[in-house]
Structure 1
Amino acid sequence: MDFVLPSEPRPVRLMNTVWADRGGVHDALTTPADLARWLTATGLTAAEPPATAADLRTAVTLRDALRRLAALTTDDSRAAARSALQDAEAAVHAVNEAAVAGPGRATLQLLDGKLSLRAPEPAADPGAALAVVAAEGIDLLTGSGVLNACYAPGCVLYFVRDHPRREWCSTACGNRARAARHYQRHRTTRTAP
């Protein structure tokens, strides 16, 4: 299974395990095995550790909390992108609860006279890995990136704006949005008296 937008930060990648296509809105985390694959794909675990139903519930709660807070941060009003958690206070509590369960964060290291970031070692279990995502989500939601909602027709994804002119999560969504505008423009001129 491929996960969407693999170049985005891990909290955004977790939020984007809810995605949409012409068939509707889908969830990429429906089984503990899906969670184990996602943790490995994001580099949080060295191998696919066995994930439990409780780990899956934790991941889905964290994802829904991050999506709710992302909607708050980006003024996202897309109905299809709504999170199962509608209370922002509950979302903050869920993210904080997940974050405190984890191992140490990234640290600084001095190599050859230069400072560099040393990422934490891959987690041994899904709970610790999700705590890393929660901590990264806290950093993301409090200003370390410009989080945006993709308003292309039918899209429910979030992305970090890495260029001032970026409006959509992907070129496919940009093309879909431009095509929809073109269609709407030509449709209204044809129907006008």
Structure 2
Amino acid sequence: MSDTRLALDLALTIRHDGRGGVADDLDTPEGLTHWVRERSGLLGDASGGGGWAADAQSLEAVRSLRAAVRALFAYAVRPGEPSPADAGRLPPLEEALRRLNATAATVATVPRLDWAPDHDPVAHHHPVGRAAGQSALPAALARAAIGFLAGPDRTALRACHAPRCVRYFVKEHPRQEWCKPSCGNRARVARHHERHRAT
């Protein structure tokens, strides 16, 4: 589930801005730093601890990876339509795969089992030797995306097509059509207005 959560969280850093446009939560190194610190539990060693701060190079690496992930998400939801936020600007499938795999390979890792008292055991991948600090984050995110896309949750991936929504989500029950209830409400209101406008 952590692979699914990380992969979705990365893709969802592109979102509706509430005013009819699209916002990017990773538009600055500070935005990436904040995003990583909020997910330090999911990222483990790749989050660099509480003192980690993004620089321009790590921001570019994560944004490039995000474009690849969103391209692969757009491919995964076929024959459904991809998110309208950036579908026309995404790299082609072959480039997205190359970028994702190359990023995952930048830091060698080994699995390690952590088992805190009174908790379930958790497997984490830890860098081998002294990994380059800024490379660990994009590599961990790329591995999470690979885990998600190669896992069973990929078949439940959908793009939300409620008005003004640009999110991807994992469909959790058969009747789920939108990423969250507020999107369902907006879609119903839009359909209601459309029906009344047509009469």
**TM-score category of the 2 structures, normalised to the smaller one:** 0.7 to 0.9
For 2:170, the equivalent position in structure 1 comes to 160
| 2:63 paired with 1:60 | yes
Secondary structure, aligned partner of 1:119: strand
Aligned residues: 181
Secondary structure, aligned partner of 2:109: coil
Amino acid at match of 2:89: A
- After superposition, the Cα gap between the structure-2 partners of 1:84 and 1:65, relative to the gap in structure 1 and judged at 3 Å, is same
For 2:151, the equivalent position in structure 1 comes to 143
Does the CA contact (< 8 Å) of 1:49 and 1:124 recur in 2?
A: no
Instruction: Write the distance in 2 (CA, Å) between the matches of 1:48 and 1:167.
Output: 40
Does the CA contact (< 8 Å) of 1:105 and 1:132 recur in 2?
A: no
For 1:9, the equivalent position in structure 2 comes to 5
RMSD of aligned alpha carbons: 2.7
TM-score normalised to the size of structure 2? 0.79
Per-residue CA deviations over 1:116-166 (Å, capped at 9, x if unaligned) read 432346999342122111111012112331211111111111112222222
Cα displacement (A) at 1:71: 0.3
**Greater helix proportion:** 2
Amino acid at match of 1:165: R
- After superposition, the Cα gap between the structure-2 partners of 1:83 and 1:131, relative to the gap in structure 1 and judged at 3 Å, is farther
Does the CA contact (< 8 Å) of 1:36 and 1:48 recur in 2?
A: no
Per-residue CA deviations over 1:55-112 (Å, capped at 9, x if unaligned) read 0110000000000010011023444342633311110011111111235365556899
Amino acid at match of 1:135: R
TM-score normalised to the size of structure 1? 0.81
- After superposition, the Cα gap between the structure-2 partners of 1:177 and 1:58, relative to the gap in structure 1 and judged at 3 Å, is same
- After superposition, the Cα gap between the structure-2 partners of 1:157 and 1:29, relative to the gap in structure 1 and judged at 3 Å, is same
The equivalent position to 1:24 in structure 2, one of 12, 15, 21, is 21
| 2:178 paired with 1:173 | no
Matches within 5 A, 1:43-54: 43=40, 44=43, 45=47, 46-54=49-57
| 2:136 paired with 1:133 | no
| 2:87 paired with 1:82 | yes
Per-residue CA deviations over 1:25-83 (Å, capped at 9, x if unaligned) read 11111111111111111122231412111101100000000000100110234443426
Does the CA contact (< 8 Å) of 2:14 and 2:85 recur in 1?
A: no
Instruction: Write the distance in 2 (CA, Å) between the matches of 1:110 and 1:52.
Output: 33
| 2:80 paired with 1:97 | no
Does the CA contact (< 8 Å) of 2:110 and 2:126 recur in 1?
A: no
After TM superposition, what 4+ stretches of structure 1 lie above 4 angstroms from structure 2? 105-112, 120-124
Amino acid at match of 1:29: L
Instruction: Write the distance in 2 (CA, Å) between the matches of 1:105 and 1:144.
Output: 23
Instruction: Write the distance in 2 (CA, Å) between the matches of 1:103 and 1:59.
Output: 18
Runs of 5+ in structure 2 lacking a partner?
A: none
